[in-house]
Amino acid sequence: MPKKYHIAIQPTPLNRDFVSKFKIVRGENCINCGKCTKVCIYEAHRRGAKDPRKIDEPHMALCRNCFRCIQECPRGALVKSLDPDFSALGGSYWKPDMLLSIWKQAEDGKVPVSGAGYRGPFTGPGFDGMWTDMSEIVRPTRDGIHGREYISTAVDLGRKLNHLTFDDTGNISSKIHQTVDLPIPIIFDIPACTLSPNVTAACVMAAESAGTFAMMPAADITADIKKYANSIIPLVSHEKSTAYQTMISSARLVAIEYAPALLYDFDSVKESIKKMSQAVTIVRIPAMTGIEDAVATLARSGAEVIHIVSDYRGMEAPGLRQRFVKEVIRAVHLRLIEERIRDEVTIIVSGGIAMAEHVPKAIICGADLTAVDIPLLIALGALLYEEPEKTLTLPDGLEKMPVATASQRIVNLIGAWHSQLLEVMGAMGIREVRRLRGETGRAIFFDEIDKDTFGKLFHQREMTSI
Amino acid sequence: MKPSTVVIKPMPSRFKHQVPKYKVTRSDACINCGMCAKSCPYGVHERIEGHNRMRPPIDYKCIGYECRKNDEFYCVYQCPRKALSLSLNPMYETLGDCRWTSDMIIATWIMAETGYPPERTDIGYQIGNSEGGFDKLRLKFPENPPKVERDEISTEIRLNRRNDGRADVLISTPLYGGGMSFGSVSLPTMLSKAHNAKIWNTFTCTGEGGYPEMLYPYDDHVITQVATGLFGVREETIQRVKIVEFKYAQGAKPGLGGHLLGEKNTESVSRMREAVQGTSLFSPFPFHSVYSIEDHKKHIDWIKEMNPKALVSVKVSTPNDVDMVAVGSYYAGAHIIHIDGGYGGTGAAPDIAKKNIAMPIEYAIPKVHNFLKDEGARDAVTLIASGGIRTAHDLVKAICLGADGAVIGTAELVALECVRCGNCESGRGCARGIASTDSELADLFDEQWATQRIVNLYHAWNFQLVEILQKFGMKSVSELVGRTDLLEHVDYS
């Protein structure tokens, strides 16, 4: 049996708090009776270490919102509210709770579990407008928790043949293309912002440890991370590729920045890369109006892997109508199917991949795999704000964080996402993530089911007499 | 109509303070004249006998802005120094979420305390804020309904419609308690649920994990569950009860098996489950002996053979093919099809499962109802819905969409003052003693208090149900089944 894929998670708390959802203020009428220290089972209230006659300020990172202290304080002296620093985080796409969840997963590498039912809205824009499906009896392919070891999350990147041809003697005459295998459908797309060397190093080290790749501009690949060259995808522009010849020659995957010129002459660009190296090429193209045409053209002219990049909230570039990445992927996927070339090319999608569930959902919509960007930094304590404009605030002292610590936190996050991918695949009865691609039959789309159910029931109906 | 065993008694909160919706602020201009304490009938203001200064206002007792109309005692107007002001309390936002809003939680607490829906009109408890499903459906009342007296109205439903010679089980209100296993909730919680079921002539369910002896006095009102792990299932437990339920999946985590952590598998739990103490116990998914409707029938036959009186309920979650599963269960011989929607409650489930797997119950009910109807089987089976039924209004909407009745879980726990903080499984378990087996925490309330709170809640729901039936001019809740014409959806037509 081949070695099992395993992501080595390890609890890695940092010596700092992230953000707290709640704030509790101790009023002046507190009599330091200590009732709160007795009723709080999470130890958010403690007596002062220096002066035990006084109760400390509440330790909000420990508060789990159980309301016991609020309801049992004999003087009603505790006042809780939403912490404005928490509410100001993120925005319409990146909900503050998502950031908190990423932080926690980076800390312990575990699947977030909680009690009580789902708390969020019924449906929502983007990926929130779909549910994954499962089956009760009729698809005997699942095996719950025990079946997990049989679920494969591996994908391969590269060009695939539509069919094989054989010569007269019965030998294969088709040339089999080279592919790169990944154990998880996730690569890292290191965010384009000024990062200290330890953070970049942590990203590539984590990529290596998880058995995947980190994509970054070739110009940023410094000598200290060259030892991870096997896990780095250098990103170059097609004109300047020769400047990075040595780097490209040892790479297994090379990404080329999209330029309209590629549409007319992809062959020669690919040729020039192939002269330098065995690497499989990726074309990194921004999501924009007409992307399905561009992708189809590239695929027809021999592109091996196409990476569609939407903005940080999963939107394509402003155009006539701006679609969310879910719609973009579906359009691209369907176009390639119509042209009967879907299986020949690999599609990577990134932008707005913020939660574990976005990975299977993007794949159901038609991507082969996803690239994750901003969560890599949130795992290290970065704060993201959407308003008034996109701002990513890196935590103080990040440049001093040991590479091993930072890397382990990223590994933990990916480990947690991998486990969650197994959870939903198990529920869907899908044993291979490759078979999930474009499998919209394993999803329920809000727009469709709502119209199908309530649209039929309520559209211009007359009330019948009682 | 409520059974004669139901007696409503006020059962106040076990905590000193409630969560306040408003904030009453007293400024420095206050001269401690005591006017406010004299005029406020709700007890917001207080000055202890012999004290010079007023106590800080007791916010949670305040009824808020609707008090403005009470010229004679609204404190903000009454204060001679205009020292008092009223605002929304920021604390209120920290309670609840868009499915169970703070108003809904507070209203459920009031119902559990008094047995009636809140008299205050400032609490919007009939719909949540999830912006979909039940929260977008409204009841459409006719202008001149036939006149019906309250005591003419029946809320009873039949659970056996197969005409197969088995018991004709009736429940007095179209509602019963969901499965919560021994160990997942505290003993007073489990017992109070069962006791309430007896008082209300309805049912509660053991969940997976055995049939504790303490439930024996309530045998006739207990549904015992046969789930995929078959934990605690014995011939004797199956023969004890009137209804046996097969649990295929749970709405909150469909397609995933249950998992009892080793440390929770204590001596008593392991004895009940007939397992080795301290080992982690997995319930697989699915039943490893059921891969077809024929296999399923074999299971049902097995239960029917073992207990010739029992009705069989089949609990499934809501995938796209739930309609087919329901019809299959009917042909396999089930009396009750219990569908559990994706947004249902749980003691612990991966967040990714709770949010994403399977469809909300609002879509599944009409899907199953219509499919059974087309198959000519609807009249021969009882359709029960669960997974996000939070209020009496949700119950009515579920019935209008095609269910015969509903199962509730979270609402019963909220009656016991659950705040839905979601920490049921972490560490020592529920901080409020509802879902914990921690020796200290499980003692935070007694069974008597809990039973009365749940009885009161069921009464408040039944009261609202009767009121709604009256507005529709109906004499029985069974007339409401499938009446989607009595609903409207804010997004359509």
Same domain? For A54 and A181 the reply is no
Same domain? For B295 and B438 the reply is yes
What is the distance in angstroms between the Cα of B426 and the nearest Cα belonging to chain A? 8
Q: What is the CATH number of the domain that holds B41?
A: 3.30.70.20
Q: Which of B 124-163 lie inside 8 A of A, CB atoms?
A: 130-133, 135-136, 140, 142, 145-146
Domain that holds residue A46: 22-82
Q: With cut-offs at 50, 70 and 90, classify the pLDDT of residue A146.
A: low
- C-alpha distances (whole Å) from B191 to each of A61, A187, B180 are 35, 51, 11
Q: What is the pLDDT of residues B57-89, one digit of tens each?
A: 999 999 999 999 988 899 999 999 999 999 999
pLDDT < 70: residue spans in chain B = 1, 427, 493
| % chain A with pLDDT above 90 | 84
C-beta of residue B68 within 8 angstroms of C-beta of residue B3: no
Domain that holds residue B396: 139-489
Q: Does residue B103 fall inside a structural domain? A: no
Q: Which residues pair with B227 in a beta bridge?
A: B247
Q: What is the per-residue DSSP string for B322-382?
A: HHHHHHHHHHHT-SEEEEE-TT---SSEEHHHHHHBS--HHHHHHHHHHHHHHTT-GGGSE
Same domain? For A64 and A150 the reply is no
- C-alpha distances (whole Å) from A256 to each of A188, A283, A308, B70 are 16, 5, 12, 73
Decide: helix, strand or coil at residue A462: coil
A-chain CB neighbours of B285 within 8 Å are 142-145, 426-427
Verify whether the Cβ–Cβ distance B283 to A144 is below 8 Å: yes
Q: Does residue A296 fall inside a structural domain? A: yes
Q: Does residue A463 fall inside a structural domain? A: no
Instruction: Count CB neighbours of A297 within 10 A.
Output: 15
* Average pLDDT along chain A: 92
Predicted pLDDT of residue B183: 78
C-beta of residue B257 within 8 angstroms of C-beta of residue B284: yes
Q: Does residue A128 fall inside a structural domain? A: no
Q: With cut-offs at 50, 70 and 90, classify the pLDDT of residue A148.
A: confident
Q: Is A116 on the interface with B (CB under 8 A)?
A: yes
Q: What average pLDDT does the segment A133-154 reach? A: 67
Q: Which of A 351-410 lie inside 8 A of B, CB atoms?
A: 355-357, 361
Q: With cut-offs at 50, 70 and 90, classify the pLDDT of residue A147.
A: low
Total domains in chain B come to 2
Same domain? For B241 and B316 the reply is yes
Q: What is the pLDDT of residues A344-358, one digit of tens each?
A: 999 999 999 999 999
Q: Does residue A11 fall inside a structural domain? A: no
Q: What is the CATH number of the domain that holds B328?
A: 3.20.20.70
Q: Does residue B205 fall inside a structural domain? A: yes
Alpha helices in A277-402, H assignment, sequence order:
291-300, 325-338, 358-365, 374-378
Q: Which of A134, A357, A453 sits opposite B355 (nearest CB)?
A: A357
Q: Is A241 on the interface with B (CB under 8 A)?
A: no
Q: Does residue A121 fall inside a structural domain? A: no
Same domain? For B343 and B472 the reply is yes
Predicted pLDDT of residue A136: 64
Final residue in a domain of this structure, among B57, B75, B93? B93
Q: What is the CATH number of the domain that holds A386?
A: 3.20.20.70
Q: Does residue A37 fall inside a structural domain? A: yes
Q: Does residue B235 fall inside a structural domain? A: yes
Same domain? For B80 and B143 the reply is no
Q: Is A260 on the interface with B (CB under 8 A)?
A: no
Q: What is the pLDDT of residues B147-186, one digit of tens each?
A: 999 999 999 999 999 999 999 999 999 999 999 988 788 8
Predicted pLDDT of residue A461: 44
Q: Does residue A447 fall inside a structural domain? A: no
* Burial of residue B121, with CB atoms counted within 10 A of its CB: 0-12 exposed, 13-18 middle, 19 or more buried: exposed
Same domain? For B158 and B67 the reply is no
Q: Does residue B131 fall inside a structural domain? A: no
How high is the ipTM of this complex? Answer: 0.94
Q: Does residue A328 fall inside a structural domain? A: yes
Q: What average pLDDT does the segment A81-106 reach? A: 96
Q: With cut-offs at 50, 70 and 90, classify the pLDDT of residue A212.
A: very high
Picking from B27, B42, B23, B43, the residue whose alpha carbon sits closest to that of residue B93 is: B23
Predicted pLDDT of residue A2: 65
Same domain? For B154 and B260 the reply is yes
Total domains in chain A come to 2
Verify whether the Cβ–Cβ distance B254 to A427 is below 8 Å: yes
Q: With cut-offs at 50, 70 and 90, classify the pLDDT of residue A138.
A: very low
Q: Is A423 on the interface with B (CB under 8 A)?
A: yes
Q: Is the pLDDT of residue A142 over 70?
A: no
Q: Is the pLDDT of residue A464 over 50?
A: no
Q: Does residue B252 fall inside a structural domain? A: yes
Verify whether the Cβ–Cβ distance B135 to A122 is below 8 Å: yes
Q: Is the pLDDT of residue A139 over 60?
A: no
B-chain CB neighbours of A75 within 8 Å are 56
Q: What is the CATH number of the domain that holds A61?
A: 3.30.70.20
Q: What average pLDDT does the segment A98-116 reach? A: 96
Same domain? For B350 and B448 the reply is yes
Angle between the N-to-C axes of helices B322-332 and B361-374, in degrees from 0 to 180, rounded to the nearest 10? 50
Same domain? For B186 and B307 the reply is yes
Verify whether the Cβ–Cβ distance B492 to A458 is below 8 Å: yes
Question: Strands B382-386 and B336-340, how do they pair?
Answer: parallel
Q: What average pLDDT does the segment A245-264 reach? A: 94
Q: State the DSSP code for B12.
A: -
Q: Is the pLDDT of residue A463 over 80?
A: no
